[in-house]
Amino acid sequence: MKKQQFISDCTVYEDEKEFAAHEAVDADLLLEAHKATLNSYAPYSKFHVGAAARLANGVIVRGNNIENAAYPSGLCAERVTLFAAQAQYPDVPVEALAITARSEITEVTEPVAPCGACRQVMVETEQRSGRPMRIICQGHTGPVFVFDGIETLMPFIFLTKFV
């Protein structure tokens, strides 16, 4: 028996300005995610999440969380975005996904991390396209975290050989 350590790494930018200075294209995508929070329907949590995906053909697809009184019927912004992208462009890889949020209750100053279910969908999105998808996370303000693929966010991923 032995203990083993697994390391996940990400690039951390102080804020969107530093991010834009280094990664202008992805900073534009993050801005699209911020815009997407304005379409969020979150009357229960008051937590408005926005996401934006940039596809390999240059198309940007935006999405946001949509809640429902029957709670499990709602869906996260990340899955709304990725499913919409793959429904419209099933054969086009997703290059990058930006995620952000704002709250009516508190200032969101830490990067918003996707939930486990969304991470699993990101795994299969990458699997379909055959290449890693960059994942960019920010709160309403504050630092920007950049992950160069889902495996850094979701080690020990569940994969099937049937795809």
Our finding on whether 98 is near Zn ion (CB under 5 A) is no
Our finding on whether 159 is near Zn ion (CB under 5 A) is no
Q: Closest separation between CB of residue 114 and Zn ion, Å? A: 5
Our finding on whether 77 is near Zn ion (CB under 5 A) is no
Q: Closest separation between CB of residue 161 and Zn ion, Å? A: 25
How many residues interact with Zn ion (rule CB under 5 A)? 3
Edge-to-edge order in the sheet of strand 144-147: 11-13, 144-147, 134-138, 94-103, 47-55, 60-64
Q: Closest separation between CB of residue 75 and Zn ion, Å? A: 8
Residue nearest Zn ion, CB atom distance: 76
Our finding on whether 118 is near Zn ion (CB under 5 A) is yes
Our finding on whether 76 is near Zn ion (CB under 5 A) is yes
How many Cβ atoms are within 10 Å of 149's Cβ, its own excluded? Answer: 15
Q: With contact defined as beta carbons under 8 Å apart, do 10 and 152 qualify?
A: yes
Q: Closest separation between CB of residue 115 and Zn ion, Å? A: 3
Stretch that binds Zn ion, among 54-62, 68-76, 80-88, 144-152 (CB under 5 A): 68-76
Stretch that binds Zn ion, among 26-34, 51-59, 90-98, 117-125 (CB under 5 A): 117-125
Q: Is 78 a catalytic residue?
A: yes
Our finding on whether 115 is near Zn ion (CB under 5 A) is yes
Place of tokens 């979701």: 154
**Measured distance between the N- and C-terminal CA atoms of the chain, rounded to whole angstroms:** 34
| Strand partners for 137 | 99, 145
User: Three-state SS across 44-94?
Assistant: CCCEEEEEEEEECCCCEEEEECECCCCHHHCECHHHHHHHHHHHHCCCCCE
Binding site for Zn ion (CB under 5 A): 76, 115, 118
**Catalytic residue numbers, as ranges:** 78
